[in-house]
Structure 1
Amino acid sequence: MNTIDRRESGVFFVDGPGGSGKTFLYRAIIAELRNKGHIVLVTASSGIAAALLPGGRTTHSRFKIPINAEPSSICNISKQSDLAKLIRQTTAIIWDEAPMANKESVQSLYRTLRDILTNDMPFGGKVMVMGGDFRQVLPVVSKGSKSQMISASIVKSHLWASTKILYLRQNMRSSNDPVFAEYLVHIGDGIEPTIHKDFVRIQTNMAISWEGETSLHKLIEEIFSNLQSHGWDASYMVERAILTPKNHDVQQLNDIIINKFLGQERNLVSFDEVEGDVNNLYQQEYLNSVSTGRLPPHVLKVKKGAPLMLLRNIDPKAGLCNGTRLLCRGTFQNMLDVEILTSYHCGRRAFLPRIKHKTTENSGLPFILIRK
């Protein structure tokens, strides 16, 4: 704030573990600056993080950053555009979850702002506030080694040397359980004792011993207790989630949980095709069996009152972005009626149409699958 009041430039990074209050801090800064009449551009590397901030957008959509940025890339913003005019009037830029971004994306914005503002200061002299947690997801380098992922991180950028790092250390989210908060930080910092090199021992009170499929039912009952009496309860659903690293387990858990909801099940079936396959070389049965983490299943089972997760950025301004948690309020032939459970737009209703999803080139398939 002192840097802004003195009309100076500065690059800051707010470093803190999950739950230490980074989002709270950004919202306080945004409210203070906008109250004083300043313009603040609020962005995040992921849509789900952007939706937590007032006026938040993904950094790529806000600044037209190339998807696959290279060492010489610049953003697709002309000096005469309305966006360039907005940038000139902007006091500060906030970029949440910056450690997820490739350093080339950050450097593309750095070069673009210097060009638009005709200023050789870092980021064209604007106050830049980045933030995030290096204990979480680093830039994804497809099939890359550990060293390649580290090399793509912003700490390996030449900009890092001129960045002032500010630390948030106290876990506010787990303030009632300091032992668990400390345990999390120890894992993140790599100082928790490990077994067989990469495994940490889970505390006994946090684990359910594996005894086959009965353990899955025990886990579901532990997380979604009395589910049948909470089918339409948005506050109940938003406080619960089961995370698992494998798509097969996701499908298995979803099939078990959806059967526990009251009401009639609706099976929404996709239409699958291969891009450019005019000779129909691939059988429909095979295409229907393809399951990747970025696509919905061929048969999507839904019930009224069941939670859903959005897999695409449909309308980030309205809170509909990749990772948004929803509650199904109704089903139609080509549309779903949903309520947003998370983010700044919590409680808002929306209609989701049928849309086409495409696999990417690095999905491991020899073709591009289009699933509607």
Structure 2
Amino acid sequence: MPVCNISKSSERGRMLQQCKLLVWDECTMAHKRAIEALDRTIKDIKGNRHIMGGMVVLLAGNFRQTLPVINKGTPADEINACLKASVLWVHVKKFCLTTNMQVQLHNDSQAGQYAAALLKIGEDCMPSDSNDMIILSHDFCQIFDSTDHLKIVFILICQ
């Protein structure tokens, strides 16, 4: 069984013995074996057999983004490597963020509409055509009939 390369007597090990909270950002991209190795390591360092050695571990991430990359793997391999497939997942208490703080702080209604549309796409709630292609309104993005218009917009943005 893999563990992290941290000994109890190392500086990092002594720091982890005192640690009450560990934050792991973008954890959804990590292989499930990484969190399982961390669990075994912290249990050993803290001398505590509870999950994560009794330490609070905050896992932050978005499962709609990149899952673990498995070289020459299939989509099923990626799903199997995901944190949700770990034996530790049943111990995770899940919280969902509901307010887009960037939109909230800048009071940008257009950004808010864009963020809401992205959520609808992620939840598979956007209208689609007979080919299952998502239908985007003119409110969502600016649609051009030719690439000539795109070049003009690009030039205007870059100047």
Smaller-chain TM-score bracket: 0.7 to 0.9
Q: CA deviation at 1:208?
A: 3.7
- The residue identity in structure 1 corresponding to 2:136 is I
Matches of residues 209-358 of structure 1 in structure 2 within 5 Å? 209=144, 211-212=146-147, 214-224=148-158, 227=159
TM-score (norm 1): 0.38
Aligned-partner Cα distance in 2 for 1:92–1:80: 20
The structure where helix makes up a greater share of residues is 2
Alignment CA distance shift 1:210-1:73 (3 Å)? farther
Q: State whether residues 144 and 150 of structure 2, in contact with CA within 8 Å, keep that contact through their aligned partners in structure 1.
A: no
- What is residue 79 of structure 2 aligned with on the other side? 150
Runs (4+) of structure 1 moved beyond 6 Å? none
Q: 1:109 and 2:44 equivalent?
A: no
Aligned-partner Cα distance in 1 for 2:117–2:93: 28
- What is residue 11 of structure 2 aligned with on the other side? 82
Equivalent residue in structure 2 for 1:173, among 99, 102, 114:
102
- What is residue 37 of structure 1 aligned with on the other side? none
Matches of residues 36-47 of structure 1 in structure 2 within 5 Å? none
Instruction: Classify the secondary structure of the residue corresponding to 1:129.
Output: strand
Q: Which runs of 5+ in 1 are unaligned?
A: 1-71, 228-372
Instruction: Classify the secondary structure of the residue corresponding to 1:202.
Output: coil
State the number of aligned residues. Answer: 152
Aligned-partner Cα distance in 2 for 1:99–1:222: 38
- The residue identity in structure 2 corresponding to 1:211 is S
CA RMSD of aligned residues (A): 2.0
- What is residue 191 of structure 1 aligned with on the other side? 125
Matches of residues 52-71 of structure 1 in structure 2 within 5 Å? none
Q: State whether residues 135 and 188 of structure 1, in contact with CA within 8 Å, keep that contact through their aligned partners in structure 2.
A: yes
Aligned-partner Cα distance in 2 for 1:181–1:152: 29
Q: Identity rate of aligned residues, in percent?
A: 32
Deviations 1:106-131 (A, max 9, x none): 11111111111111111111111111
Q: State whether residues 31 and 83 of structure 2, in contact with CA within 8 Å, keep that contact through their aligned partners in structure 1.
A: yes
Matches of residues 116-135 of structure 1 in structure 2 within 5 Å? 116-135=45-64
Q: CA deviation at 1:142?
A: 2.7
Larger RCO: 1 or 2 (CA < 8 Å, sep 6+): 2
TM-score (norm 2): 0.83
Instruction: Classify the secondary structure of the residue corresponding to 1:165.
Output: coil
- What is residue 160 of structure 1 aligned with on the other side? 89
Instruction: Classify the secondary structure of the residue corresponding to 1:181.
Output: helix
